[in-house]
Amino acid sequence: MPTRAATSTDASELPLLELFTDGACSGNPGPGGWAFILRHPASGKSVEGSGAEPMTTNNRMELMGAIEGLLAIKKRSRVDLFADSQYVVKGLDSWLKSWKARGWRTADKKPVLNLDLWQRLDEVASRHVVRTHWVRGHNEHPENERCDQLAVAAREALVRGR
């Protein structure tokens, strides 16, 4: 898997973290939720986070899960990021570099969708050494299933709260 390096520090000296992310949306656009699980494999400790927005898209929620998960990391680390979103994985692995080189335009010269979130994800990912992993969604992957539950619960809590 591709790796995004932030600085010249030897990555092997950095702590290793696992970040699992997901997003959920009811309607597209519609109310949506995002979630992450951040785990420190050496200690077994983990933290969960989630949130919701009243009018959003699935892709925006997938991006928010990754952004918020990376923001939860307090010091520079090696991060194995697991997502069921090809949009997030391919974006981090290959599209970002090309988009930036073209002034945040796609190959067909259109503006990048969700530019605000892609720029934010680029900024927070650059603080770490991130390696992405795609996982098939809704396929009994325990952390992916848990993230989905958290994202849906956040979305539902928002909808009930209206």
Known catalytic residue at 23: yes
Class of residue 136 by CB neighbours under 10 A (exposed 0-12, middle 13-18, buried 19+): exposed
Q: Which of 13, 103, 138, 140 is catalytic?
A: 138
Known catalytic residue at 148: yes
The dihedrals phi and psi of 20, each to the nearest 5 degrees, come to: -110, 135
Known catalytic residue at 122: no
What single letter denotes the amino acid at residue 30? G
Show the CA angle centred on residue 150, arms to residues 45 and 85, nearest 5°: 95
Q: Which of 80, 84, 93, 122 is catalytic?
A: 84
Class of residue 61 by CB neighbours under 10 A (exposed 0-12, middle 13-18, buried 19+): buried
| Structure-token pair, residue 3 | 């790796």
Known catalytic residue at 62: yes
| Contact by Cβ (8 Å): 127, 5 | no
Known catalytic residue at 138: yes
Known catalytic residue at 108: no
Q: Which of 53, 62, 68, 93 is catalytic?
A: 62
Pairwise CA distance, residues 72 & 35, whole Å = 12
Catalytic residues: 22-23, 62, 84, 138, 148
